């Protein structure tokens, strides 16, 4: 062998070695790892060493490329999106039964559809609703993560129920876990939905994941505020780290060493945090991970307790890391396998009086128990059935046949555990026998297999006792008609025409059943020969004719009724007291014109404008009482606002068509002697403004729950203007003085449509931005492009006023450099200090911080600088309703508590929020009421 040859051999060898090394390392990763790059086209390995595969075999949906400045990883440059219809779209992943897995789906919207409509849709794992994906920023990756125990060889992840926008997905990741990791005693009935997994004291904002974590769990950095909105850090919190190895002991779900090597310590005696737990309130699994990574002297100790407001029982036990681990640099993982937690979690670790050091915290992980759905009764039979047709598109829809929505060719009952009630496979090119699986669907009512090329004989459907309608016509079925068909108790329609059936027709099938056997040339009539069959067919034809006649006449009757109803409603309309057709030229152009009051009528009602009840941007408002005894509010518009009589009348007509329970009712107008007046229903309790910081005395200010209800009412009214009117009406001047309260303190929005009226009617102000300082959308101000989102901005300001009882603009109340409620509230909320903005007029035990937070966070979304980042009014409304529900639940809770309990919980929550000065001196006396 020459030297050259030697060289070549060794090179070859090293190549071989290198490639085997490569192979083993990649297979070590890929054993139990699936990383799908949705919408991708090429497989690739990312910088972490994860192997991504494209989902290009996926049959459904379409792909899109996006670009996002902040997320340039290859897997985020593509996505797959699906139609916003009533179907579900599933990915099926292979798994090994009885193994635990972590499944993670991520979503980066990136405005892929150029619509700037942030999608909202559901995802499910098999039949279990997993979570609702709500996109709130185009450039932010949303993530959902679940730990589950596989119970079959495959699992499906499905997208469905698009509420807004189109469902889409960026990545789908499956990670097999090891041994008994995340084993819980509830796992047969519950999945674990991961809400928080946090690395405290992290050195950068980057998460720790694979390869540091061999299972690729993502440990979020506590520096990243966005992760769970982790805020409200106590003064004196210090970050510590070490490079020494950490002994993991026998800790099962141990965080990776890199996570344990950093921690926070409370040098003043406390660690506090507030965080949002997606998916909660509910029961969950919560674990904390501690390791001593500071070198304590022999006589020093670190002992602390967990303090949860509302849960005094948890502060009984004392964490003493050293005592538990016997030495430093070793993991200790106390936790709760089943703990009830709220959505907004405030927690605190406080040192005990005899401890020389403050608390330490390295990591924590919180998951919610997500109840599994049992799935539909026929799931496995239907899976077998679909697998017979795995080469067709409809055979590969995947997931549960009924949940969360049924396959396209299946109808299901609406029971909690649904059954298949109809299979509709007409004209699907089916060949071969009628699948026997169909005979096992015991809930089946309707079976449609007509127009295929099915062969063989009709199977025994005797187990399908509910079968009513069977279509098997236009196939190539052979053999006899089974007598079992004749025994189906509920069968009403049977179509067998144009097959190759033989033998006799069972006589009972021709009684009470609408049937068709024609076109089967070897099929003989039953016992009594032609005559009887003729009679029967004649009879059944007769029955059909009768049925058709009945149906037609029924339809006519319905139509008649409908017509009547319509006539009645239009009659109601025309007889409504204030609609007067003959009063002006308007009525010629428009169906229901506004009522035209005469000046005389108005003067009489208002007693010559005696009682002034308000004034605003558009004019002065007077109280009035009509001859009929109706209380009215007359708005006399500023004199020079309106040019033409005709334009005014047109706008007024538009106004008169808007009716909604949460909009102040417009009753009519008056235009005489150069004065323009608008007449509205009178609202007894004045404006919201007065009730928040006006003339109403402080001790009679409205409660938090009432404020929420007012917000909900107003949101409904505005939503109606945005979505219920064509064209949509943008209010343009929402503010607390435009929200009026009736006798029952229900709110209605007023002055809608007026800005437009004023702007359009007056040429010299048409290009001027209208609105009120403090409520004005800055984007509108700059661009002069008005959208519904400008109203959302103003509404956000109103929400902040409801929380704080502060005016939108103030020279004194917001501190030195701040005049504006938005800046002021944002500063406090971003710092986790909600107490700092809550209206002092609200008694502390009259509201729950959870609902407060919910509204505060929504309000901040509403006042985002760009309209497309703001939610729609209907989303805002939904959150207000959630907050009302939370508040009502909390009220029930507060009502039911013993005095001692409520006192102690109020106490602990008050020192958890805001009162930072108290953190310095923690002593046992603070803890006594909780250590019952």
Binding-site residues for ATP, in ranges, read: 635
Judged by beta carbon, residue 122 or residue 397, the one nearer ligand NAG is 122
Instruction: Give the residue among 392, 379, 420 at the shortest CA–CA distance from 152.
Output: 379
Query: Shortest approach of ligand NAG to residue 57 CB, angstroms?
Result: 8
Question: Is it true that the peptide bond before 459 is cis, omega within 30 degrees of 0?
Answer: no
Q: Is the dihedral of CA 411, 415, 416, 417 positive or negative?
A: negative
Query: Shortest approach of ligand NAG to residue 736 CB, angstroms?
Result: 30
- When asked if residue 336 is in the footprint of ligand NAG (CB under 6 A), the reply is no
Q: Which residue is nearest to ligand NAG (CB)?
A: 283
Degrees to nearest 5, angle at CA 95 with 91 and 101: 95
Query: Shortest approach of ligand NAG to residue 46 CB, angstroms?
Result: 19
How many Å apart are CA 846 and CA 849, to the nearest integer?
A: 10
- When asked if residue 431 is in the footprint of ligand NAG (CB under 6 A), the reply is no
How big is the site for ligand NAG, counted in residues (CB under 6 A)?
Answer: 22
Beta bridge partners of 411: 422
CB 46 within 8 A of CB 52: yes
How many Å apart are CA 651 and CA 855, to the nearest integer?
A: 35
Judged by beta carbon, residue 137 or residue 604, the one nearer ligand NAG is 137
Judged by beta carbon, residue 487 or residue 746, the one nearer ligand NAG is 487
- When asked if residue 703 is in the footprint of ligand NAG (CB under 6 A), the reply is no
- When asked if residue 186 is in the footprint of ligand NAG (CB under 6 A), the reply is yes
Instruction: Give the residue among 310, 207, 329 at the shortest CA–CA distance from 261.
Output: 329
Binding mask 93-112 for ligand NAG (x = CB under 6 A): -x------------------
Query: Shortest approach of ligand NAG to residue 479 CB, angstroms?
Result: 25
Query: Shortest approach of ligand NAG to residue 47 CB, angstroms?
Result: 19
Q: Which of 61, 279, 342, 404 binds ligand NAG (CB under 6 A)?
A: 404
Binding mask 447-466 for ligand NAG (x = CB under 6 A): ------------------xx
Judged by beta carbon, residue 69 or residue 695, the one nearer ligand NAG is 69
How many Å apart are CA 586 and CA 612, to the nearest integer?
A: 30
Q: Which of 84, 117, 223, 428 binds ligand NAG (CB under 6 A)?
A: 428
CB 232 within 8 A of CB 831: yes
Q: Which of 14, 241, 429, 453 binds ligand NAG (CB under 6 A)?
A: 429
Judged by beta carbon, residue 313 or residue 562, the one nearer ligand NAG is 313
How many Å apart are CA 269 and CA 237, to the nearest integer?
A: 9
Tokens of 919: 């953190």
Binding mask 354-383 for ligand NAG (x = CB under 6 A): ---------------x--------------
Q: Please pick, among 232, 733, 791, 839, the residue that the annotation labels catalytic.
A: 733
Q: Which residue numbers belong to the known binding site?
A: 635
Q: Which of positions 112-171 make contact with ligand NAG (CB under 6 A)?
A: 122, 132, 137, 139-140, 161, 163
Q: Determine the length of the chain.
A: 932
CB 446 within 8 A of CB 469: yes
Query: Shortest approach of ligand NAG to residue 81 CB, angstroms?
Result: 18
How many Å apart are CA 722 and CA 726, to the nearest integer?
A: 9
Query: Shortest approach of ligand NAG to residue 465 CB, angstroms?
Result: 4
Neighbours of 856 (CB within 10 A): 22
Query: Shortest approach of ligand NAG to residue 462 CB, angstroms?
Result: 11
Judged by beta carbon, residue 134 or residue 725, the one nearer ligand NAG is 134
Judged by beta carbon, residue 368 or residue 756, the one nearer ligand NAG is 368
Binding mask 227-256 for ligand NAG (x = CB under 6 A): ------------------------------
- When asked if residue 190 is in the footprint of ligand NAG (CB under 6 A), the reply is yes
How many Å apart are CA 165 and CA 89, to the nearest integer?
A: 15
Judged by beta carbon, residue 108 or residue 838, the one nearer ligand NAG is 108
What are the residues whose beta carbons fall under 8 Å from the beta carbon of 457, sequence distance 6 or more? 433, 477, 478, 479, 480, 482
Binding mask 567-606 for ligand NAG (x = CB under 6 A): ----------------------------------------
Question: Which one-letter DSSP state was computed for residue 205?
Answer: S
- When asked if residue 408 is in the footprint of ligand NAG (CB under 6 A), the reply is no
Distance of CA 79 to the CA centre of its chain: 21
Q: Is the dihedral of CA 896, 901, 907, 913 positive or negative?
A: negative
How many Å apart are CA 202 and CA 432, to the nearest integer?
A: 63
CB 704 within 8 A of CB 715: no
How many Å apart are CA 396 and CA 89, to the nearest integer?
A: 10
460 carries an active-site annotation: no
Query: Shortest approach of ligand NAG to residue 259 CB, angstroms?
Result: 24
Beta bridge partners of 672: 675
Binding mask 31-50 for ligand NAG (x = CB under 6 A): --------------------
Ramachandran angles phi, psi of 270, nearest 5°: -140, 150
> What stretch of H or E contains 495?
strand 493-495
- When asked if residue 70 is in the footprint of ligand NAG (CB under 6 A), the reply is yes
Distance of CA 444 to the CA centre of its chain: 34
- When asked if residue 338 is in the footprint of ligand NAG (CB under 6 A), the reply is yes
C-alpha dist (Å) from residue 319 to 299, 314, 325, 333, 359: 17, 11, 11, 10, 9
Judged by beta carbon, residue 514 or residue 658, the one nearer ligand NAG is 514
Query: Shortest approach of ligand NAG to residue 631 CB, angstroms?
Result: 39
Tokens of 299: 């006589």
- When asked if residue 283 is in the footprint of ligand NAG (CB under 6 A), the reply is yes
Tokens of 533: 């069959």
How many Å apart are CA 737 and CA 476, to the nearest integer?
A: 76
How many Å apart are CA 778 and CA 869, to the nearest integer?
A: 13
Judged by beta carbon, residue 45 or residue 132, the one nearer ligand NAG is 132
Q: In a 3-state reduction of DSSP, which class is residue 524?
A: strand
Q: Strands (DSSP E) along 674-782, which ranges?
A: 675-681, 739-741, 747-749
Query: Shortest approach of ligand NAG to residue 139 CB, angstroms?
Result: 4
CB 612 within 8 A of CB 622: yes
Instruction: Give the residue among 879, 725, 853, 851 at the shortest CA–CA distance from 795.
Output: 879
- When asked if residue 389 is in the footprint of ligand NAG (CB under 6 A), the reply is no
Q: In a 3-state reduction of DSSP, which class is residue 327?
A: coil
Judged by beta carbon, residue 427 or residue 923, the one nearer ligand NAG is 427
Judged by beta carbon, residue 54 or residue 404, the one nearer ligand NAG is 404
Query: Shortest approach of ligand NAG to residue 595 CB, angstroms?
Result: 40
Binding mask 486-515 for ligand NAG (x = CB under 6 A): ---xx-------------------------
Q: Is the dihedral of CA 721, 722, 726, 729 positive or negative?
A: positive
What stretches of 863-929 show up as alpha helix (H) in DSSP? 873-896, 899-912, 924-927
Beta bridge partners of 320: 303
Residues serving a catalytic function are 733
The residues binding ligand NAG (CB under 6 A) are: 69-70, 94, 122, 132, 137, 139-140, 161, 163, 186, 190, 283, 338, 369, 404, 428-429, 465-466, 489-490
């Amino acid at each position: 062998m020459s030297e050259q040859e030697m060289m070549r051999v060794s090179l070859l060898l090293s190549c071989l070695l290198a490639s085997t090394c490569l192979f083993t390392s990649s297979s070590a990763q890929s054993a139990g790892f699936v990383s799908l790059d949705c919408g991708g086209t090429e497989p690739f390995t990312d910088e972490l060493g994860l192997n991504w595969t494209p989902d290009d075999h996926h049959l459904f949906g379409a792909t899109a490329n996006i670009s996002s400045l902040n997320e340039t990883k290859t897997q985020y440059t593509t996505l797959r999106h699906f139609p916003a219809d009533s179907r579900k779209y599933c990915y099926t992943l292979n798994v090994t039964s009885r193994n635990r897995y972590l499944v993670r789906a991520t979503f980066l919207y990136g405005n892929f559809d150029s619509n700037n409509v942030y999608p909202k849709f559901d995802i499910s794992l098999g039949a279990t609703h997993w979570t609702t994906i709500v996109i709130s920023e185009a450039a932010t990756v949303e993530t959902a993560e679940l730990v589950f125990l596989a119970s079959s060889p495959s699992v499906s992840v499905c997208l469905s129920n698009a509420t807004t926008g189109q469902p889409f997905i960026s990545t789908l990741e499956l990670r097999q876990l090891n041994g008994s990791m995340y084993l819980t005693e509830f796992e047969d009935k519950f999945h674990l939905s991961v809400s928080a997994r946090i690395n405290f004291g992290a050195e950068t904002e980057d998460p720790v994941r694979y390869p540091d974590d061999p299972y690729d769990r993502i440990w979020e950095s506590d520096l990243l505020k966005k992760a769970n909105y982790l805020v409200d850090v106590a003064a004196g919190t210090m970050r510590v780290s070490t490079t020494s190895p950490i002994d993991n002991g026998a800790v099962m779900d141990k965080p990776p060493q890199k996570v344990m090597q950093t921690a926070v310590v409370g040098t003043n005696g406390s660690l506090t945090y507030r965080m949002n737990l997606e998916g909660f309130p509910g029961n969950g699994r919560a674990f904390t991970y501690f390791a001593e990574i500071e070198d304590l002297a022999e006589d020093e100790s670190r002992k602390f307790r967990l303090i949860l407001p509302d849960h005094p029982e948890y502060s009984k036990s004392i964490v003493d890391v050293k005592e538990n681990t016997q030495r430093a640099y070793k993991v200790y993982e106390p936790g709760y396998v089943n703990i009830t937690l709220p959505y907004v979690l405030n927690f605190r670790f406080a040192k005990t009086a005899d401890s020389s050091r403050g608390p330490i915290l390295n990591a924590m992980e919180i998951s919610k128990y997500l109840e599994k759905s049992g799935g539909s009764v026929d799931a496995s039979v239907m899976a077998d059935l679909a697998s017979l047709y795995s080469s067709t598109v409809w055979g590969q829809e995947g997931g549960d046949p009924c949940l969360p929505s049924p396959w396209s060719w299946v109808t299901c009952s609406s029971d909690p555990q649904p059954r298949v009630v109809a299979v509709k496979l007409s004209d699907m090119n089916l060949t071969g026998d009628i699948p026997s699986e169909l005979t096992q669907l015991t809930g089946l009512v309707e079976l449609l297999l007509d127009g295929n090329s099915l062969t063989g004989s009709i199977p025994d459907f005797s187990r399908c006792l509910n079968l009513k309608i069977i279509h098997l016509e236009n196939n190539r079925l052979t053999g006899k008609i089974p007598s079992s068909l004749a025994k189906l108790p509920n069968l009403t329609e049977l179509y067998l025409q144009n097959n190759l059936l033989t033998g006799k027709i069972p006589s009972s099938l021709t009684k009470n059943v609408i049937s068709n056997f024609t076109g089967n040339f070897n099929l003989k009539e039953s016992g009594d020969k032609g005559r009887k069959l003729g009679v029967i067919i004649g009879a059944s034809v007769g029955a059909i004719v009768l049925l058709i006649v009945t149906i037609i006449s029924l339809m006519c009757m319905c139509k008649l009724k409908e017509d009547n109803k319509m006539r009645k409603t239009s009659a109601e309309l025309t007889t409504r007291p204030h609609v007067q057709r003959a009063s002006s030229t308007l009525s010629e152009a428009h169906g229901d014109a506004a009522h035209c009051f005469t000046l005389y009528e108005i003067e009489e009602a208002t007693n010559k404008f005696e009682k002034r009840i308000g004034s605003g941007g558009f004019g002065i408002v007077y109280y009035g009482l009509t001859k009929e005894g109706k209380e009215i509010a007359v708005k006399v518009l500023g004199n020079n606002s309106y040019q033409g009589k005709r334009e005014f009348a047109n706008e007024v007509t538009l106004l008169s068509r808007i009716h909604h329970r949460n909009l102040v009712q417009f009753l009519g107008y008056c235009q005489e002697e150069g004065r323009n007046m608008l007449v509205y229903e009178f609202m007894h309790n004045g404006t919201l403004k007065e009730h928040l910081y006006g003339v109403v005395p402080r001790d009679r200010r409205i409660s938090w729950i009432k404020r929420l209800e007012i917000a909900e009412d107003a949101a409904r009214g505005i939503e109606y203007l945005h979505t219920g009117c064509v064209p949509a009406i943008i209010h343009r001047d929402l503010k607390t003085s435009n929200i009026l309260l009736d006798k029952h303190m229900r709110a209605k929005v007023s002055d809608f449509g007026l800005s437009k009226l004023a702007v359009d009617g007056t040429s010299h102000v048409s290009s001027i931005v209208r609105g009120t300082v403090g409520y004005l959308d800055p984007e509108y101000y700059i661009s002069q492009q008005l959208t519904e989102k400008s109203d959302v901005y103003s509404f956000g300001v109103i929400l902040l006023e409801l929380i704080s009882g502060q005016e939108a603009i103030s020279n004194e109340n917001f501190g030195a450099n701040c005049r504006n409620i938005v800046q002021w509230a944002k500063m406090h909320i971003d710092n986790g200090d909600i107490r700092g903005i809550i209206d002092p007029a609200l008694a502390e035990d009259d509201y729950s911080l959870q609902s407060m937070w919910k509204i505060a966070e929504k309000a901040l979304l509403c006042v985002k600088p760009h309209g497309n980042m703001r939610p729609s009014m209907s989303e805002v409304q939904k959150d207000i309703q959630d907050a009302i529900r939370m508040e009502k639940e909390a009220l029930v809770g507060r009502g039911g508590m013993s005095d001692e309990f409520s006192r102690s919980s109020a106490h602990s929550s008050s020192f958890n929020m805001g009162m930072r000065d108290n953190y310095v001196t923690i002593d046992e006396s603070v803890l006594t009421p909780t250590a019952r």
